[in-house]
Amino acid sequence: MPTLFDTVTFGDLTLKNRIVMAPLTRNRSPKAIPNDLNVVYYEQRATAGLIVSEGTAVTHQGQGYADVPGLYLPEALEGWKKITDAVHSRGGKIVAQLWHVGRISHVSLQPGGAAPVAPSAIAAKSKTYILNEDGSGGFAETSAPRALELSELPGIAADFAKAARAAVDAGFDGVEIHGANGYLLDQFLKDGANKRTDAYGGSIENRIRLTLEVVDAVVKAIGAGKTGIRLSPTTPANDVSDSDPQAVFNTLVKALASRNLAFIHVIEGATGGPRDHQYEGTSFDYAAFKATYVDAGGKGAWMLNNGYSAETAEEAVTSGKADLVSFGKPFIANPDLVRRIKDGAAWNNINPQTLYGGGAEGYTDYPTLEAAE
């Protein structure tokens, strides 16, 4: 039976272990351009079998938080190239998370101060991180969005494809399409945010349409073996909900099975919260979700996320429940998390005050076991 420390190959990726660093927004890339501090941060964590980069905007319109990186500026691609080179120099693998936030944005972050876009003109009861007039960062209510025109939707898929190509050209080993956590694609998937009456709203087949078009565009640009997707069937993050998530997501993964993606990355329950979270008491069967994918012929690696410990991650892999397990916040405080899991060593505690924005403190200064020795 496999363990967390066995190598694994899926799609075009061969990993040295099955421990994945999940995407983590840290707000330390001013003007959407990765910098030398970001290089240090990612290089420190390259012992992970795979790093999924922090959410990285495919366009300026897709930007939803201050000081998060993008893939649409030449200077940003140069910054990312330094990061991918550093990760590869330590034998690591890294994929870029392709991000369009949709309505989870603020007019101060949008081109020309425009309204954010969404499937429907419904404001999210959520907050985002913006810069104040004095240059400090802080949280603010998201701005009211406008509904995307039908004519604009092919351009969304094209933006994802262009960003995927740029990411691979910048040295990434592949990409993860962000279809989770209440951002644009998840907004289209879930009927709490999608009230459209055209070909992209109403029925499940219509609501999954844009996600599949994005997947197909990215696959055409870089190949299925370099493409994964992140999904969060029941998270309430960023004010999303659905009346029947099992039906929606089973239908979606059945369609994804034929696309031969490298991996499916699943957030169980509420992002950063209870793994058994359900919408209004509606149960979600994650085992049936995976079985639907496999029974439809899906062969991509099945990656699970949300609140795993060393012990539960090992059990998930050895039991066949998962091929990979991703860790988020533990990787913030423990750049050498892989070694700590392998040695059964204690984990550093995270400093919640330094999660978003700032400099090296709480970013690149967490101690490793090697440093302690």
pLDDT band at 261 (very low <50, low <70, confident <90, very high): very high
Domain boundaries 8-372, corresponding CATH code: 3.20.20.70
pLDDT band at 278 (very low <50, low <70, confident <90, very high): confident
Residue ranges per domain, the chain?
A: 8-372
Residue 267: predicted pLDDT: 98
353-360 mean pLDDT = 96
Is 183 one of the annotated active-site residues of the chain? yes
Distance separating alpha carbons of residues 265 and 163, to the nearest angstrom? 20
Nearest to 68 by CA among 45, 94, 35, 36: 35
Question: What digits encode the pLDDT tens for the residues 169-221?
Answer: 999 999 999 999 999 999 999 999 999 999 999 999 999 999 999 999 999 99
Residue 134: predicted pLDDT: 82
Of 42, 72, 183, 363, the active-site residue reads: 183
Residue 137: predicted pLDDT: 82
For the chain, give the percent of residues with pLDDT over 90.
Answer: 93
pLDDT band at 277 (very low <50, low <70, confident <90, very high): confident
User: Per-residue pLDDT for 282 more than 80?
Assistant: no
